[in-house]
Amino acid sequence: MARRRKPTGLWRILRPLALVAAILVAIPLVLTPLYLIVPPVSVPMLERYVTGRPVVREWRSIADISDRLKASVILSEDGQFCRHWGVDVGALRDEVERYMDGKDARGASTITMQVARNLFLWNRPSVVRKALEVPLALYIDLVLPKKRIMEIYLNIAEWGPEGQFGVAAGANRAFGIKPQNLDWRTATLLVTALPNPMLRQPAHPSAGMLRIAATIENRVRQYGDRAACVGEQARLSL
């Protein structure tokens, strides 16, 4: 009878690493389909829960969010959102070329890539994180419809310095109004806060924020049809 070979020292090291890798891969594979119906909790929200810091989030259906805000987010953050499959290949290619040339990064993150990062990864910028965002975004776009991706994004984005997550908490903190009642000014000012909600205050906008908000509104009025996959564009002129 043949003797069973004992695991080598290398295998003893690799086996737990392989198990951890398998678990990490399985998490988004299993959770993403659940997010078709289950409101997800983001990694930044979990971090605040674990450390005992407050989290303010009231889930809103995409139908209960202003079309002005949805279109403003798309025209500001990801103008090709309704057209690509989770990744803007052209923008990503340009970003890789900039990185290879030693130039500063500009981002190239689509809304879907931002959803992937907030749900499954970490916030600190790195090449490894960016590389992981790409397959995750492709998978999310394959499983979830565009409206659901946008609905998740608008409900997990951080919109305030005291743990305000989602547009309902952001609109209430800044203006004391519900997200379906945003006019052009309040919708575009909320969007200007997204890159840095710790410092940018929509209720007390700087001159720079006002200029950006006006630019976003002009873009939406001109190219609002690019957001047709998430809202009724006939209402954008109101």
Domain regions of the chain by residue span? 40-48+59-231
Q: Is the pLDDT of residue 34 over 60?
A: yes
What is the rounded distance in angstroms from the CA atom of residue 144 to the CA atom of residue 201?
32
- What confidence category does residue 238 fall into, taking pLDDT thresholds of 50, 70 and 90? very low
Half-sphere exposure of 126 (CA within 13 A, CB side): 8
Helix axes 146-156, 111-120, angle to 10 degrees: 60
What is the rounded distance in angstroms from the CA atom of residue 217 to the CA atom of residue 172?
21
pTM, rounded to two decimals: 0.87
Average pLDDT of the chain is 86
Of the candidate ranges 15-24, 128-137, 166-175, the one whose mean pLDDT is the lowest:
15-24
| Percent of the chain at pLDDT exceeding 90 | 66
What is the CATH code for 40-48+59-231?
1.10.3810.10
pLDDT of residue 52: 95
- What confidence category does residue 228 fall into, taking pLDDT thresholds of 50, 70 and 90? very high
What is the rounded distance in angstroms from the CA atom of residue 35 to the CA atom of residue 30?
9
Q: Which two tokens stand for residue 44?
A: 């930044």
Better-predicted residue by pLDDT, 153 or 9: 153
Better-predicted residue by pLDDT, 220 or 231: 220
Q: Which amino acid is at 11?
A: W
Q: Is the pLDDT of residue 129 over 90?
A: no
Of the candidate ranges 41-50, 66-75, 101-110, 133-142, the one whose mean pLDDT is the lowest:
101-110
Q: Is the pLDDT of residue 14 over 80?
A: no
- What confidence category does residue 198 fall into, taking pLDDT thresholds of 50, 70 and 90? confident
pLDDT of residue 234: 41
> Can you tell me the mean pLDDT for 181-198?
93
Better-predicted residue by pLDDT, 139 or 20: 139
Query: Strand, helix or coil at 221?
Result: helix
